[in-house]
Structure 1
Amino acid sequence: MSKPNVLIVFYSRTRSTEILANAIAAGAVAEGAEVRLRRARELVGPEVMQQVPGWFDSAEAMNAKYEKPTEADAEWADAIIFGTPTRFGSISSELKAYIDGLGGLWFAGKLNGKAGSVFGSTSSRHGGNESTLLSIYAPMAHLGLIIVPLGYADPSMFKAGTPYGATHVSVHDTLVPDDDHLAVAEYQGRRVASVARSLRCVPSVTEAA
């Protein structure tokens, strides 16, 4: 049986979301998946980024590590997992710009039936982790992705995360994801890869006939 292809597209400014992305990738690989990790790019120039301490340098470092996501990545994938920091209770503009750029694949029906999942992080407690993840469910439904939530099907879920996807609260960038949050992220990678593999094995009506 061939490996399921899992695309993890994330935006991260101060590494919290990046760390979760890597844990999800590790879980997917453990489940036998082929993984592509991609970082969405900034929509503003260096002059704006340099007004926020550390933003420009962090972006430069992460962009050197991760390729920019493309339409070809989404077409290649059997599952797409989106990750974002919270921006006023919703998705970051950087990740949303990538999703908005998938219109050509959407129009051609090339995303229908792929697995989809989400994860994210926020700086402040009660800063909108759950509302952010749920805000991504809507465009995933429009793209035709089969949304894969986490539920409570793994013991890690009773210690951290949300039933909608892995999360983390950095408390104004003073904390990185701990073992409990990373365990949820790894479980998410395993779960999505498993679902993607199962979806690939289900024959269509015409194939079954």
Structure 2
Amino acid sequence: MQKPKVLIVFYSRNCSTETLARAVAEGAVEAGAEIRMRRAREVVGPEVMQQAPGWLENATAMNKKYEAPTEADSEWADAIVFGTPTRFGSIATELKAYIDGLGGLWFQGKLNGKVGSVFGSTSSRHGGNEATLLSIYAPMAHLGLIIVPLGYADAVMFKAGTPYGATHVSNLDAVKPDEDHLAVARYQGRRVATVARALHYKQDAVAA
């Protein structure tokens, strides 16, 4: 059977969300998936980015590691996992811009039935992690994705994360995701890949 194809699309400014994205990818690979990792691009120019220490430098470095996401990536995928930092309690503009650009695939119905999941990070405690993840559930529903939350189906969920997706609080970027939070992200990758495989197995069986 063909490997489930998992697309991980994230935006990260100071590497916390990137670190979670890499852990999600590790979990998906453990579950036998083929993955693509893509970083959403900035919607402002260098003159604006230079006003925030490290933003331009980090963006330049990450953009060398990861391609920009395209419509073709989402069409390719069996599962799409979105990752975002919290911006005033909601999704980062950079990631939302990519999602908004999927209107053509949405109109053609090409995203219906794909698996969807989310993860994220915030700089401050109670800074909106859960609200941000839940806010992404709405556009995923409009796109026709089958939303896969984490629940509490793995013991790692009783140590970190949320039932909606993996999370992290960076405390003004002073704290990196620890092993408990990375374990949740890996579990998310495994869960998404497993569900995607099950859906495709059922489709293959019906087609046969």
TM over 0.5: yes
**Structure 2 counterpart of 1:63, one-letter code:** N
Alignment map for 1:82-93 (pairs within 5 Å):
82-93=82-93
> Which residue of 2 is the match for residue 102 of structure 1?
102
User: What is the alpha-carbon distance in structure 2 between the residues aligned to residue 80 and residue 91 of structure 1?
Assistant: 16
> Which residue of 2 is the match for residue 133 of structure 1?
133
Q: TM-score, normalised by structure 1?
A: 0.98
Q: TM-score, normalised by structure 2?
A: 0.98
Please state how far the C-alpha of 1:207 moved relative to its aligned partner: 3.6
- In the alignment, structure 1 residue 35 sits paired with structure 2 residue 32: no
Unmatched tracts of structure 2, length 5 or more: none
> Which residue of 1 is the match for residue 159 of structure 2?
159
- In the alignment, structure 1 residue 202 sits paired with structure 2 residue 198: no
Q: Percent identity?
A: 78
> Which residue of 2 is the match for residue 172 of structure 1?
172
Q: What is the Cα-based RMSD across aligned positions, in Å?
A: 1.2
Q: State the aligned residue count.
A: 208
Please state how far the C-alpha of 1:105 moved relative to its aligned partner: 0.3
Question: Could you report, residue by residue, the CA deviation over 1:103-122 in whole angstroms, capped at 9, with x for unpaired residues?
Answer: 00000000000000000000
Unmatched tracts of structure 1, length 5 or more: none
> Which residue of 1 is the match for residue 114 of structure 2?
114
Question: Could you report, residue by residue, the CA deviation over 1:90-134 in whole angstroms, capped at 9, with x for unpaired residues?
Answer: 000000000000000000000000000000000000000000000
User: What is the alpha-carbon distance in structure 2 between the residues aligned to residue 166 and residue 69 of structure 1?
Assistant: 21
> Which residue of 1 is the match for residue 64 of structure 2?
64
Q: Which runs of 4+ in 1 moved over 2 A?
A: 203-208
**Structure 2 counterpart of 1:115, one-letter code:** V
Q: What SS does the corresponding residue of 2:73 show, helix, strand or coil?
A: helix
